[in-house]
């Protein structure tokens, strides 16, 4: 029997299931994926859809989860978080804004925890550490995505997407004995030396919006987030159009094509392997 096997399964957007077969952790679950037409669309108020969440969890093959870990509280990361925690018995972990989402959804207090930066939490054999990160700045979208502001009051759906304010952005470091380390970023932002003292074999980098930033920005992002932690593997998430339902074939967002090619080239030069994560495909880490 193989021991200490950790698998990573991507489920579109920045949804990542990480499991050792006993403990199941999910990051930024986004299964409802409201679009621009039909009921529950982005032109009006949106709610998590229990049916779509059940479909996503079934595709991942999980009924129970130990933790729902939130990198930040924009709707494409946090809309479904409380409902996923409720349906799977998981503990929702994130910023104070994530707690407002949990309270607004009526999640029991025992199923919610505010992450303290750089203080490890244990879930089964996993050690989970929240690291202060940064959100990519996309000037034309600032008013829409509630950048850099917090959710101040309990948030009960339905709500406009813009009510899901960022609430600060974290990267989540998962450590699994004896030597598996995975850094899951929440957005393609950085600040100088933001990962000082951190090592990670695998980095998962969401590329959404990166084409809005210049080549020099992307080079610095790579240096500060991938080279800085001595990564050997770089996986790309958040590349697909998240306004399409989960059962539709994934389609690449137009705003990340140039970034993907540049980052793949930089990684090849540094002998770091790369992959664009494919929905539902499990990778052994």
Site residues for Zn ion per CB under 5 A? 74
218: CB partners within 8 A, 6+ apart: 210, 259, 262, 263
- The number of residues making up the chain comes to 285
Compute CA distances 229 → 117, 118, 170, 202, whole Å.
Answer: 18, 15, 16, 9
Measured from each CB, the residue nearest to Zn ion is 74
List of long-range contacts for 212-219, beta carbons under 8 Å, 24+ apart: 212/136, 212/138, 212/139, 212/140, 212/255, 213/136, 213/137, 213/188, 213/259, 215/262, 218/259, 218/262, 218/263, 219/262, 219/266
Residue with Cβ nearer Zn ion (13 or 88): 13
Minimum CB–partner distance for residue 256 and Zn ion (Å): 14
Residue with Cβ nearer Zn ion (24 or 74): 74
Minimum CB–partner distance for residue 224 and Zn ion (Å): 18
Query: And the tokens for 235?
Result: 């996986």
* Cβ atoms 208, 230 nearer than 8 A: no
User: How many CA atoms lie within 13 Å of 85's alpha carbon, on the beta-carbon side?
Assistant: 29
Minimum CB–partner distance for residue 109 and Zn ion (Å): 26
Residue with Cβ nearer Zn ion (171 or 266): 171
Three-class secondary structure of residue 121 per DSSP? strand
Residue with Cβ nearer Zn ion (48 or 206): 206
> Residue 221: which H helix or E strand, with range?
helix 215-225
Angle in degrees, CA 260, 195, 264, rounded to 5: 15
Minimum CB–partner distance for residue 79 and Zn ion (Å): 12
Residue with Cβ nearer Zn ion (30 or 74): 74
Residue with Cβ nearer Zn ion (8 or 188): 188
Residue with Cβ nearer Zn ion (74 or 100): 74
Minimum CB–partner distance for residue 72 and Zn ion (Å): 6
Minimum CB–partner distance for residue 74 and Zn ion (Å): 3
Minimum CB–partner distance for residue 182 and Zn ion (Å): 20
């Amino acid at each position: 029997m193989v021991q200490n096997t950790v698998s990573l399964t991507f489920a579109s957007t920045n949804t990542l299931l990480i499991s050792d077969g006993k403990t199941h952790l999910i990051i930024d679950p986004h299964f409802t994926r409201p679009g621009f037409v039909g009921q529950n669309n982005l032109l009006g108020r949106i709610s998590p859809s229990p049916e779509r969440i059940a479909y996503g969890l079934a595709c991942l093959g999980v009924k129970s989860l130990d933790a729902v870990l939130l990198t930040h509280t924009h709707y494409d990361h946090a809309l479904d978080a409380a409902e996923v925690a409720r349906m799977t018995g998981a503990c929702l972990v994130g910023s104070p804004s994530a707690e407002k989402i949990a309270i607004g959804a009526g999640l029991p207090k025992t199923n919610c925890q505010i992450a303290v930066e750089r203080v490890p939490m244990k879930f089964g054999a996993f050690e989970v550490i929240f690291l202060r990160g940064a959100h990519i700045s996309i000037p034309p979208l600032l008013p829409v995505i509630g950048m850099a502001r917090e959710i101040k009051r309990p948030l009960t759906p339905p709500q406009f997407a813009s009510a899901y304010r960022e609430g600060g952005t974290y990267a989540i470091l998962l450590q699994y004995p004896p030597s598996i380390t995975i850094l899951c970023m929440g957005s393609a932002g950085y600040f100088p030396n933001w990962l000082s003292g951190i090592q990670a074999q695998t980095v998962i980098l969401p590329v959404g919006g990166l084409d809005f930033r210049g080549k020099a920005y992307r080079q610095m992002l790579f240096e500060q987030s991938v080279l800085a932690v001595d990564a050997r593997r770089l996986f790309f998430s958040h590349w697909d159009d998240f306004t399409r339902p989960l059962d539709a074939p994934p389609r690449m967002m137009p705003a990340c094509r140039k970034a993907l090619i540049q980052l793949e080239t930089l990684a090849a030069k540094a002998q770091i392997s790369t992959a664009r994560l494919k929905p539902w495909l499990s990778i052994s880490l």
